[in-house]
Structure 1
Amino acid sequence: MKGPFVRLVWIIVCSLLTIMGAGWGVRYDWPDFVHVDYGFPAKWATHTLITFTGPSDRWIVDPTMLLIDVAVWQTILIIGIIILELKVLKK
């Protein structure tokens, strides 16, 4: 019973980390370029708020980097599940 529960907890934790990593935004307040970058560890979107010429509302989205970002987190999930399965097989 302990093995399936640990795997379920690991899947939930990794799923939450995936959502948080994809939605993580960091705001940069540079004098002439205020923007928010989204994604961790791979930046997949930039929302430009202010430029040298004034206010702006421009999104630059890179779907490939979003897929890479999610793939990194899912790889961590799979590696963790493999490690948990190997621990169960050793017992």
Structure 2
Amino acid sequence: MKYEKAQEILPQDLINKIQEFMDGGYLYIPKAETNKRSWGDSTGIKKELNNRNNNIYKDFESGMKVDELSNKYYLVENSIRRILREHKKSNK
């Protein structure tokens, strides 16, 4: 997120009104609810993690053990177990 100068994007009467409440500080204006994206949507990481987790589950079903999955995917065993548990729960 980058800072914008209010005087470059807002009308002066709006700046004057804002200055009645806050003069000379930083003000964060959140995105409108309709413009919000969930975590990972803009970067694609959410999709990558879902693919990885699906692969972990497939490997588990084909006989790989938790410690082997941990080494293969560079995750601690507790994370592998959590992924397997969540995958089972979501596919019921």
TM over 0.5: no
Higher CA-based Rg: 2
Q: Give the structure with the larger strand fraction.
A: 1
Structure (1/2) with the larger helix percentage = 2
Higher relative contact order (CA 8 A, sep 6+): 1
